[in-house]
Structure 1
Amino acid sequence: MKPTKYNFHKVVIVGRPNVGKSTLFNRVLQKRKAIVEEFGPTTRDRIGAIVKWSGKTFELIDTPGLDFEKKEDLSKLIEKQIVSGIKEADQLIFMCDAISGILQMDYKICDMLRKADKSIILAVNKVDSRNLMRDMADFYKLGFGEPMSISSLHGLGIGDLLDKVTDNMDPGAGEGSGNREHAEKHAVKLAVIGKPNAGKSSFVNGILEEDRITVSDIPGTTRDSIDTYFEKDRKSFIIIDTAGIRSKGKIKDAVTYFSILRTEETIKKSDVTVILIDAPLGITKEDHRIIDIVQKNFRPFILAINKWDLAEKEGVNKIGYEKVIRENVRFMYNASIVFMSALKKTNLMEVLDLAYKLAEKTSQNFSTSDLNDILKSVEFNPTRLYSVRQTKNSPPELEIIAKNPGDIKTTEKSYLVNIFRKKLHLEGIPVIIKFRKKEFRGG
Structure 2
Amino acid sequence: MLPADMEVATWLRQSNKIVVLAANKTEAQKNQDNAVEFYEMGLGEVFTISSAHGQGVGVMMDHVFSSLPDELQENARQALIESEGPSGQGWGHEEALDEAQAQMEAEEDEESDTPAEHSPKPAQVMLPDVVRLAVVGKPNAGKSSLINKLLGEDRHLVSEVAGTTMDAVDSFFDYGGTNYRIIDTAGIRRKRSIYQQMEKYAVVSALKALDRCDIALMMIDATEGVTEQDLKVAAFAHDKGRAVLILVNKWDLRKENELNAKEFEQTIRDKMSFLSYAPIRFISAKTGSRVFDILDTVNRVATQAFTRVPTGQLNKALAHAFAAHQPPVYKGRRVKIYYGAQVRVSPPTFVLATNVPEGVHFSYRRYLNNKVREAFGFEGTPIRLFFRQRGSEAGLQKNIEARKRTKALSRNNKGKGKKRSR
> TM exceeds 0.5?
yes
Deviations 1:335-389 (A, max 9, x none): 1000000010011112222112111111111111111111111123211110100
| Equivalent pair of 1:224/1:259 in contact (CA under 8 Å) | yes
Shift of 1:255: 3.2
User: Structure 1 pair 428/255, CA: closer, same or farther in 2 (3 Å)?
Assistant: same
**Quick one: which of 263, 277, 283 aligns to 1:334?**
277
Shift of 1:398: 0.2
Structure 2 CA distance, aligned partners of 1:408 and 1:39?
A: 51
Equivalent residue number for residue 236 of structure 1: 179
Which structure dedicates a bigger proportion of its chain to strand? 1
Shift of 1:233: 4.0
Structure 2 CA distance, aligned partners of 1:36 and 1:272?
A: 34
Moved more, 347-356 or 230-239: 230-239
| Equivalent pair of 2:355/2:389 in contact (CA under 8 Å) | yes
Structure 2 CA distance, aligned partners of 1:238 and 1:313?
A: 37
**Quick one: which of 409, 412, 421 aligns to 2:373?**
421
Structure 2 CA distance, aligned partners of 1:327 and 1:391?
A: 32
User: Structure 1 pair 37/330, CA: closer, same or farther in 2 (3 Å)?
Assistant: farther
**Quick one: which of 381, 384, 388 aligns to 1:432?**
384
Deviations 1:290-346 (A, max 9, x none): 101111101111110000001155543111111111122121233100000001001
Q: State yes or no: 1:401 paired with 2:353.
A: yes
Structure 1 CA distance, aligned partners of 2:129 and 2:209?
A: 17
**Quick one: which of 381, 385, 410 aligns to 2:327?**
381
Equivalent residue number for residue 304 of structure 1: 247
Shift of 1:428: 2.3
Partner SS, residue 303 of structure 1: strand
Q: State yes or no: 1:189 paired with 2:141.
A: no
Equivalent residue number for residue 411 of structure 1: 363
Shift of 1:230: 1.4
Q: What is the letter of the counterpart of residue 251 of structure 2? A: W
Which structure dedicates a bigger proportion of its chain to helix? 2
Q: What is the letter of the counterpart of residue 141 of structure 2? A: A
Shift of 1:259: 2.6
Deviations 1:89-138 (A, max 9, x none): xxxxxxxxxxxxxxxxxxxxxxxxxxxxxxxxxxxxxxxxxxxxxxxxxx
Q: What is the letter of the counterpart of residue 250 of structure 1? A: S
Equivalent residue number for residue 222 of structure 2: 279
User: Structure 1 pair 315/420, CA: closer, same or farther in 2 (3 Å)?
Assistant: same
| Equivalent pair of 1:222/1:242 in contact (CA under 8 Å) | yes
User: Structure 1 pair 317/380, CA: closer, same or farther in 2 (3 Å)?
Assistant: same
For the aligned residues, what is the CA RMSD?
Answer: 2.3
Partner SS, residue 215 of structure 1: coil
Partner SS, residue 381 of structure 2: coil
**Quick one: which of 353, 369, 381 aligns to 2:312?**
369
Equivalent residue number for residue 248 of structure 1: 191
Structure 1 CA distance, aligned partners of 2:141 and 2:271?
A: 20
Equivalent residue number for residue 356 of structure 1: 299
Q: What is the letter of the counterpart of residue 214 of structure 2? A: D
Shift of 1:429: 1.6
Structure 1 CA distance, aligned partners of 2:388 and 2:204?
A: 34
Deviations 1:220-268 (A, max 9, x none): 1112111001123433211110111011211213332233223222212
Equivalent residue number for residue 232 of structure 2: 289
Equivalent residue number for residue 214 of structure 1: 157
Deviations 1:39-69 (A, max 9, x none): 99xxxxxxxxxxxxxxxxxxxxxxxxxxxxx
**Quick one: which of 199, 212, 216 aligns to 1:269?**
212
Structure 1 CA distance, aligned partners of 2:225 and 2:257?
A: 12
Structure 1 CA distance, aligned partners of 2:343 and 2:245?
A: 25
Q: Which runs of 4+ in 1 moved over 4 A?
A: 35-40, 312-315
- Within a 5 Å distance, the mapping from 1:4-403 to structure 2 comes to 37=29, 186-378=129-321, 379-382=325-328, 383-403=335-355
Structure 1 CA distance, aligned partners of 2:130 and 2:140?
A: 27
Equivalent residue number for residue 43 of structure 2: none
User: Structure 1 pair 247/350, CA: closer, same or farther in 2 (3 Å)?
Assistant: same
User: Structure 1 pair 206/313, CA: closer, same or farther in 2 (3 Å)?
Assistant: farther
How many residues end up aligned between the 2 structures? 266
Shift of 1:426: 1.3
Structure 1 CA distance, aligned partners of 2:155 and 2:128?
A: 22
Q: What is the letter of the counterpart of residue 376 of structure 2? A: L
| Equivalent pair of 1:333/1:427 in contact (CA under 8 Å) | no
Q: What is the letter of the counterpart of residue 302 of structure 1? A: L
Shift of 1:390: 0.7
| Equivalent pair of 1:398/1:433 in contact (CA under 8 Å) | yes
Deviations 1:399-422 (A, max 9, x none): 000111111222221111111011
| Equivalent pair of 1:333/1:430 in contact (CA under 8 Å) | no
User: Structure 1 pair 318/244, CA: closer, same or farther in 2 (3 Å)?
Assistant: same
Equivalent residue number for residue 130 of structure 1: none
| Equivalent pair of 2:352/2:385 in contact (CA under 8 Å) | yes
TM-score by length of 2: 0.60
Q: What is the letter of the counterpart of residue 162 of structure 2? A: P
| Equivalent pair of 1:388/1:398 in contact (CA under 8 Å) | yes
Where relative contact order (Cα < 8 A, 6+ residues apart) is larger, the structure is: 2
Equivalent residue number for residue 120 of structure 2: none
